[in-house]
Amino acid sequence: MGHTLFEKVWNAHSVRKLSNGQSQLLIGTHLIHEVTSPQAFGMMRDLGLKVKFPHRTFATVDHIVPTDSQVEPFADPLAAEMIRQLRKNAEDFGITYFDLSSGRQGIVHVVGPEQGITQPGTTIACGDSHTATHGAFGAIAFGIGTTQVRDVLATQTMAMSKAKVRRINVDGRLLPGVYAKDVILHIIAQLGAKGGIGYAYEYGGEVMDRFSMEERMTVCNMSIEGGARCGYVNPDQKTFDYLKGRPYCPTGAAWDAAVERWKSFASDAEAKYDDVINIRAEDIAPTVTWGISPDQGFSIDSTIPDPAAAKTPAEQESIREALAYMKLKPGTPLKGTKIDVAFIGSCTNGRLSDFREVAKYIQGRQVAPGVKAIAVPGSQIVAVLAIKEGLDKVFRDAGFEWREAGCSMCLAMNPDKLIGDQLCASSSNRNFKGRQGSPTGRTLLMSPLMVAAAAIMGSVADAREVFDVEAAAMA
């Protein structure tokens, strides 16, 4: 009988059974950042513990970093204190830390792959729910809480229960103007925000095979929005090509041995899954959320749902609550709704290919008057590469602010926030109430190109029409 990658990685990293029946699971790589780690280091000090595998622990600063200028001192004393603590903790405990001055700082889920720290067949943990991003490389990557960060620091393990595995096949060919972001928003809309509870999601099929590593990261990134504990894609030649030559990857004979080992983790052809879902690529349109949960999304051509048409009272109440918050009316199109802010960035869509794709279309166009549009690279390296290609100029000429690396307006722990009930077209991952920093701020999740289309039109728009994407695809 064959095994899934999840089972193989799980079995290889299972240390022993714990008394409550959970497994003690070895974590190969631990990524940390400034928001969810200070309390864990505090607990370590209280208990007199040392970091067990400091050379497998990597830190960076991302959530609280201002993106207009990374020059210190920060205006916000709380943010300054958090970065000071992270520096001290990294130094005291002997952990590699990609600081602002390193040229390698960025969103932790952009930095890991970029540095070649993220590798197939490994386990990864980070005190951040978007850790599933690393699954794009065939790693099993878990978002964890702060007490678990302590557990991993102190023991390089954590107590876990094994998940079931759901295979999600996306076959066929995506239509022009449909991106990885649309694929994952579509999957979440189909399966629901709680559909993945108890599961690891294995994404596969022709579309996933064809996707670049960065597109795979976009899909895996939002597994948690579908309720799944983690998400992954089986490693293939693309994975190895992406990793080759990265700073933390092996070289020479060790590289060849690593590739052989990595290949062995891919799910077997005859692997058994607890569930299988098949999605046709042609059924996926540019997808936008209209509500306050990531599963409240639909094709850009749809009209706002009517709570009266909901199947259950709970669903009815959810739609009603969402529409009241979003200030949207049932039966009306979302297309044409005026926006105030456009945000391109985040661990979902803040990579070089995201900025390249948008830059292809916005040359000669202008952000609509009254719209604040910001482009925030996911890491300092993404920023450098983008600038080398002149992408920053393309964005600036079109009326975007080109910023420095960080999480920025995805969760607004830095100065980038919505004000009042501003409506934001956002390439990020969450549309929760208040997510973008204002208790009444409103978020519409969509692909980077759809954000650009909304920025230029001043209202929610179909990027395929705004940019004549089909003609561009033909050319």
Partner 1 sequence: MSLEKITQVTGRGVYVPGSDIDTDRIIPARFMKCVTFDGLGEFFFYDVRKHEDGTDKPHPLNDPRFAEAKVLLSGANFGCGSSREHAPQALYRYGLRAVIAESFAEIFFGNCVTLGIPCVTATTADVQKLAAIIEAHPETEVRIDVDKCRVFFGDQNFTVHIPDTARDALLAGQWDPIAELLEGESAVAKTADAVGYMAR
Pick from 68, 76, 99, 171: which binds partner 1 (CB under 8 A)? Answer: 76
* 35 binds partner 1, rule: CB under 8 A: yes
Minimum Å distance from CB 197 to partner 1?
Answer: 6
CA distance 237 to 298: 34
311: contact with partner 1 by CB under 8 A:
no
Helix or strand or coil: residue 142?
Answer: strand
Contact between 16 and partner 1 (CB under 8 A)? yes
Q: List, in sequence order, the alpha helices (H) in 48-170.
A: 77-93, 108-114, 146-155
Residue closer to partner 1 by CB (options 69, 264) is 264
Give the footprint of partner 1 on residues 201-230 (CB under 8 A). 224-225, 227, 229
Handedness of CA 198, 202, 207, 208 (dihedral sign): positive
By the 10 Å C-beta count (0-12 exposed, 13-18 middle, 19+ buried), 42 is classed as: middle
Task: State yes or no: residue 15 binds partner 1 (CB under 8 A).
Answer: yes
- For 80, residues 6+ apart whose C-beta sits below 8 A from its C-beta are 72, 73, 74
* Per-residue x/- track, 87-126, partner 1 (CB under 8 A): --------------------------------x--x----
Candidate residues 187, 219, 344, 411; the one interacting with partner 1 per rule CB under 8 A: 411
Considering CB under 8 A, how many residues would be counted as binding partner 1?
A: 79
Contact 32, 144 (CB under 8 A): no
- State which amino acid sits at residue 142: F
Told to check if 442 binds partner 1 by CB under 8 A, we report no
Question: What is the CB neighbour count within 10 angstroms for residue 342?
Answer: 30
**Which member of 143, 286, 377, 448 binds partner 1 (CB under 8 A)?**
143
Phi-psi group of 265: left, alpha or beta (phi > 0 → left; psi -120 to 50 → alpha; rest → beta) = alpha
Sheet-wide strand order for 23-26: 14-17, 23-26, 157-160
Residue 280 engages partner 1 in binding (rule: CB under 8 A)? no
Nearest approach in angstroms of CB 356 to partner 1 is 29
Rule CB under 8 A: say whether 408 interacts with partner 1.
no
Q: Which stretch binds partner 1 (CB under 8 A): 74-82, 108-116, 209-217, 332-340?
A: 74-82
Q: Which of 317, 384, 389, 470 binds partner 1 (CB under 8 A)?
A: 317
155 lies in the binding site for partner 1 (CB under 8 A): yes
Q: Is 346 exposed, middle or buried (0-12, 13-18, 19+ CB in 10 A)?
A: buried
Nearer to partner 1, 154 or 175 (CB): 154
Closest CB to partner 1 among 55 and 311? 55
Give least dist CB 109 to partner 1, A: 13
Between 24 and 70, whose beta carbon lies closer to partner 1? Answer: 24
Stretch that binds partner 1, among 181-189, 315-323, 375-383, 448-456 (CB under 8 A): 315-323
According to CB under 8 A, which one of 3, 87, 99, 159 is a site residue for partner 1?
Answer: 159
Residue 51 Cβ vs partner 1, minimum distance, rounded to whole Å: 13
Measured distance CA(355)–CA(374) in Å, rounded: 12
Nearer to partner 1, 10 or 211 (CB): 10
List 101, 161, 332, 366, residue binding partner 1 (CB under 8 A): 161
We find the least distance from the C-beta atom of residue 377 to partner 1, in angstroms, to be: 21
Give residues 326-385 in contact with partner 1 (rule: CB under 8 A): none
Answer for the pair 432, 293: CB distance below 8 angstroms, yes or no: yes
Query: Does position 318 bind partner 1 by CB under 8 A?
Result: yes
Q: Taking the CA of residue 124 as centre, how many other CA atoms within 13 Å lie in the half-sphere pointing to its CB?
A: 32
Q: Taking CB under 8 A as the rule, does residue 156 contact partner 1?
A: yes
Residues 47-66 touching partner 1, rule: CB under 8 A, are 47, 52-53, 55-56, 63-64
CA distance 30 to 53: 9
Q: Is 190 in the site for partner 1 (CB under 8 A)?
A: no
Q: How far is the CB of 173 from partner 1 (least distance, A)?
A: 33
* Least distance between partner 1 and beta carbon 292 (Å): 8
Distance CA 289, CA 46 (A): 44
Cα–Cα distance measured from residue 264 to residue 2, given in angstroms and rounded to the nearest whole number: 12
Pairing of strands 275-280, 164-171: parallel
Give residue 100's identity as a one-letter amino acid code. L
CA distances from residue 205 to 141, 214, 233, 381 in whole angstroms, order as listed? 21, 17, 10, 31
Please state the closest distance from residue 432 (CB atom) to partner 1, in A: 4
Based on the shown chain and the rule CB under 8 A, indicate whether residue 443 belongs to the binding site for partner 1.
no
> Which amino acid, one-letter code, is at 22?
Q
Q: Which of residues 224-263 bind partner 1 (CB under 8 A)?
A: 224-225, 227, 229, 258, 261
Min dist CB 440 to partner 1, Å, is 8
Q: Pairing relation of β-strands 96-98 and 57-60?
A: parallel
The Cα 464–Cα 335 span in angstroms is 13
